[in-house]
Structure 1
Amino acid sequence: MTRIGVTGHVMLADGTAELVYARLTEELRPYAGPELHGITCLADGADQLFARAVLACGGSYEAVIPSLDYRQRAVREHNLRDFDELLRGATSVSYMPFPCSGREAYLAASLEMLRRCERLFAIWDGHPSADVGDTADVVRAAHERQLPVTVLWPSGARRQ
């Protein structure tokens, strides 16, 4: 089984989600089929696009949720339906042992995702992290673990 994790930006500008999704499905195509397994924290943006692309390629995914209150505190109103749908579609869901969402919980969930995968896809514009646990921090942690990292930032992609 091929186990691929994902990290990436949450706030994508108009039109960027479509570009990222197309690139993800292209990159996942060589792994397509029931042996493809994704690991995601299901954040809005890159993580959810990845989960959908894994499904489109015939694979499955598991979710690592940062905290017990993540849905209530961190999922925005406009994204609740998509989050709930993707959470239900996960083969397994695990919660990090944090009662409250926050930077420490987000970083811990990302590190747990890295522990479970054998390769990382990073939906990343290449800029440094603005806060603890942002995409650049996760990419750096993957490199420290000697995990292969594929950076995906399609031409024309922008952050909000």
Structure 2
Amino acid sequence: MDQALREHLATVDRLVGISCLTDGAEQIFANAVLEAGGQLLVVVPADGHRENLPPSARQDYDALVRRAFDVVSLRFGEPTAEAYRAAARHMLERADQLVAVWDRRSADTAGGPVDVIREAIRRRIPVKVIWPSRPAVPSR
């Protein structure tokens, strides 16, 4: 996945990655954007989003937030399904393309890959799906 993601990002002019920095694929994506010389915009779905991440993902989350050129916090008190769907909509409103790094483990989650890909298609935003060679192991 890393190689395919990096190869794709190398083709993007004026690279700006937009992410909620959830654990797994989103943090891999954010790191790849920065390593490719791009900028990072972080969308925080709700208060408590960081605490909702597995403890093992919080240090990387903090490091990526510090490297972001902007952090947008949505006005949700708790990280609910509604908050994650709103974050996905917010990201798509700013996106020229959706790069979906789908690890096959979050297909039915709110604001997860299926929801986001469907919404991008509805909005006529080009979608590039990058599949890992094997599913990511949940860190939870």
| Equivalenced residues, count | 137
The gaps in structure 1 that reach 5 residues or longer are 1-19
- Following superposition, the deviation at residue 31 of structure 1 comes to 2.1
1:131 and 2:112 correspond: no
Q: Secondary structure at the match of 1:136?
A: helix
Partner of 2:45: 66
Query: Residue 89 of structure 1: which of 67, 77, 83 is its match?
Result: 67
Partner of 2:120: 142
Query: Residue 108 of structure 1: which of 48, 65, 86 is its match?
Result: 86
What code does the residue aligned with 2:75 have? P
Please give the alpha-carbon distance, in whole angstroms, between the structure 2 residues aligned to 1:153 and 1:69: 29
Q: Which runs of 4+ in 1 moved over 3 A?
A: 125-129
Contact 2:81 2:111 in 1 (8 A): yes
Contact 1:127 1:136 in 2 (8 A): no
Contact 1:60 1:91 in 2 (8 A): yes
- Evaluate the alpha carbon distance shift between residue 99 and residue 60 of structure 1 in structure 2; reply closer, same or farther with a 3 A threshold: same
1:44 and 2:23 correspond: yes
Relative contact order higher in (CA < 8 Å, ≥ 6 apart): 1
Contact 2:46 2:79 in 1 (8 A): yes
The gaps in structure 2 that reach 5 residues or longer are none
Please give the alpha-carbon distance, in whole angstroms, between the structure 2 residues aligned to 1:128 and 1:109: 16
Please give the alpha-carbon distance, in whole angstroms, between the structure 2 residues aligned to 1:41 and 1:128: 14
Contact 1:38 1:54 in 2 (8 A): yes
TM-score (norm 1): 0.79
Q: Percent identity?
A: 38
Please give the alpha-carbon distance, in whole angstroms, between the structure 2 residues aligned to 1:39 and 1:131: 19
Please give the alpha-carbon distance, in whole angstroms, between the structure 2 residues aligned to 1:55 and 1:67: 24
Please give the alpha-carbon distance, in whole angstroms, between the structure 1 residues aligned to 2:11 and 2:54: 33
What code does the residue aligned with 1:123 have? V
TM-score (norm 2): 0.90
Contact 1:126 1:136 in 2 (8 A): no
